[in-house]
Chains A and B, each alone.
Chain A
Amino acid sequence: DAKTTQPPSMDCAEGRAANLPCNHSTISGNEYVYWYRQIHSQGPQYIIHGLKNNETNEMASLIITEDRKSSTLILPHATLRDTAVYYCIVRVEGGGFKTIFGAGTRLFVKA
């Protein structure tokens, strides 16, 4: 699986958009970009995933650059409940994840 690089932490004001970057310069053509988050003491939560087109769902938007070497997760109106560690994972489809999480970006949403 391609390696990903994320900033260790970010702050965001409540109500503003949170833009979380992820670099995955070694991504291969059949690998998807997945975003999960883990709120303290809870199970990981799936957010969104994409291959090359931008994606949007009720939680977030995913913007993938044309060369697919980086992506940005956008939470359009961050709330205090969005404070969590966000993980960007690159993976081919199928089979689940062998080892995931660990680093990620710790997002603090402040009132």
Chain B
Amino acid sequence: DTAVSQTPKYLVTQMGNDKSIKCEQNLGHDTMYWYKQDSKKFLKIMFSYNNKELIINETVPNRFSPKSPDKAHLNLHINSLELGDSAVYFCASSRGTRSNEQYFGPGTRLTVT
């Protein structure tokens, strides 16, 4: 029933580790996004994929690498985690690149210690 799902919901890890967050949508949407929400609740776009192709790559460190095996999945891999990576990461999807009607996942709270 879930439209956009993310795993895990919580992730606690140490600096320097590598971790992945998975996202899946069953809405049949073509476009998927990764956002980062900071402590002030600002949501900033990181990446956007349309039909498995990268279309938006904001100023994000190379340690962050998205991977889209098919248009229903967009995973986020983070290398060499830093304290400043602690945040809530949201995955979202939309019907196409021209739609701002986006559907968000429940978020993954990443804590780097």
Interface residues in chain A, defined as those with a beta carbon under 8 Å from any beta carbon in chain B: 32, 34, 38, 41-46, 49, 85, 91, 93-102
B64 touches A (CB below 8 Å): no
Interface residues in chain B, defined as those with a beta carbon under 8 Å from any beta carbon in chain A: 4, 31, 33, 37, 40-45, 48, 56, 58, 90, 92, 94, 97-107
Q: Which residues of A have CB within 8 Å of B104?
A: 43-46
C-alpha gap A91/B37 in the complex (Å): 19
Partner of B42, one of A42, A94, A99: A99
Contact A94 B97 (CB under 8 A): yes
Q: Which residues of A have CB within 8 Å of B40?
A: 102
Q: How far is the CB of B14 from chain A (nearest CB, A)?
A: 24
Contact B41 A101 (CB under 8 A): yes
Contact B44 A99 (CB under 8 A): yes
C-alpha gap A38/B40 in the complex (Å): 13
Q: Which residues of B have CB within 8 Å of A34?
A: 100-101
Shortest 4 CB-CB contacts between residues of A and residues of B? A43-B104, A94-B98, A102-B42, A101-B43
Contact A96 B33 (CB under 8 A): yes
Contact A97 B106 (CB under 8 A): no
A104, closest chain B residue (CB)? B41
Partner of A94, one of B41, B43, B99: B99
Q: Which residues of A have CB within 8 Å of B45?
A: 96-99
C-alpha gap A102/B104 in the complex (Å): 16
A41, closest chain B residue (CB)? B107
C-alpha gap A1/B46 in the complex (Å): 18
Q: Which residues of B have CB within 8 Å of A45?
A: 104
Partner of A49, one of B97, B100, B107: B100
Q: How far is the CB of B92 from chain A (nearest CB, A)?
A: 8
C-alpha gap A102/B106 in the complex (Å): 18
Q: How far is the CB of A29 from chain B (nearest CB, A)?
A: 16
Q: Which residues of A have CB within 8 Å of B92?
A: 43-44
Given A43-B90, A44-B43, answer yes or no on A97-B100 (Cβ-Cβ < 8 Å): yes
Contact A43 B97 (CB under 8 A): no
Q: How far is the CB of B82 from chain A (nearest CB, A)?
A: 21
Q: Which residues of B have CB within 8 Å of A44?
A: 43, 90, 92, 102, 104
